[in-house]
Structures are given as C-alpha cells and as structure tokens.
A = this chain, B = another copy of it.
Amino acid sequence: MRHLILSAVLALGLTVGHSGLSISAAQAQGVNQAKFNSDGKVNIPTDWRQWVFVGTPLTPNALNGGKAAFPEFHNVYIEPSAYKHWKKTGKFAEGTQIAKELVLIRKKDKEEMNKDGSTGEVSGVGYFQGEFTGLELTVKDNKRFAKDPGGWAYFSFGHKLPYAKTAKAFPAKSCNACHQSAAADDFVFTQFYPVLRAAKPK
C-alpha cells in the first residue's frame, strides 16, 4: 500500500489515475481550481478583486483610433494559490487562473479632456481609473484544454455590469495566437507584470 502511494506521488506532474485514486496534477500542486459546469462553461470567480494583483497595462481608446482592442486599463490578477506556486517554482501550475478586469479611463467634462484621453488632477496630468467595463479569465488546464496551446483557455464574462455568471472558452486561435507569439513566460505577458517578475525565483 505504501508502495502504491509512493508510486502515485512520484508519477505526479501529469494526471494520475491509480487503483481507483483520481487526483489531478492541479490538485496535487495545491492550486485552487476554477469551477466548470457540465456544459463546459466556467463559473465567474467570486473574489478576483482579492486575488494577487500583478500589473495594469493601459491602452487608451484615444491612442488606438477611438477603440482599443481592450479598453482601457487592464487590471490583471493571479489566483493566490497559483501565485504561491509561481513564487516557489517560477512556473504556472496546472489550474492557474489569471483574471483581467477592464476599466475605462475616468472622464471629465469635454473641455477638461485632453486629445490623448488624459486629464489633469492634483497629482499631475495622466490617466485615472473610471468604471469597470469587462472581465476576462484564462485557465491553464492541459487535461481539460488538451487542444489549446500550453493548455491555456480564455473566457470573457462580457463587457457590461453585472458580468455574465458563466463563460464559454474562446476558440483556441482567437486569444492564443498573440499570447503564444508575444508573451514572455508560458503565454503570460510577464514583461508587463512587475509583481510576477519580482516574485519569480532567480
């Protein structure tokens, strides 16, 4: 019996099914799992705003022909147990969840808005976060998303509040192409996320 358990432990890294034992690699790595429904849709996370924030890219509509692909601030978070694994290993564990919440630039009266979308505040001229406008999620799960490069699937809970309660994965090509070609670490744009870079083991 002891030998059986040892074998199972040693075999981890891929999914292990062993004499009735069914333990996924993700569970084995102690990473909290996204909740999927029987139709394959994922449930919206309950508490992404309390996940670990990693960075905020900003692509103003005004600098992108009036309509950025992802308007405008992108507040990006990693689920805390996946962050812990990243900090320990420098790898994104099976089950890793990363959320991106979109936030519009804070508007002022027309005459107070600069052409580039910036405004003046007491701290200087720049960009300030207005209202939430969308929530997206990526999940790494090589078992569930065996056909997606890197095992990463991408979801959107829509661009209106309240967000949708569930979301279907995008076709592999729609998001993965950019993430595969331009992201610094395993499909994740760590080059834009100083918190992840700082936490990565040397």
Contact = CB atoms under 8 A, between A and B. Distances in A.
* Number of copies of this kind of chain in the complex: 2
A113 interface: no
A145 interface: no
B198 A132 contact: yes
B63 A118 contact: yes
A122 B57 contact: no
B194 A131 contact: yes
B194 A68 contact: no
A65 to B, nearest CB: 9
A124 B192 CA distance: 13
Nearest to A53: B53
A201 interface: no
Contacts of A53: 49, 53, 75, 77
A130 interface: yes
A131 to B, nearest CB: 6
Contact of A126 (B58, B83, B122, B123): B58
Contact of A58 (B127, B191, B192): B127
A57 B182 contact: no
Given A55-B129, A56-B58, A57-B129, 12 more contacts: A49-B199, A53-B53, A53-B75, A56-B129, A57-B126, A59-B126, A63-B116, A70-B123, A122-B181, A127-B127, A130-B194, A132-B194
Interface of A: 49-50, 52-53, 55-60, 63-64, 68-70, 72-75, 77, 80, 83, 103, 106, 116, 118, 121-132, 178, 181-182, 191-195, 198-199
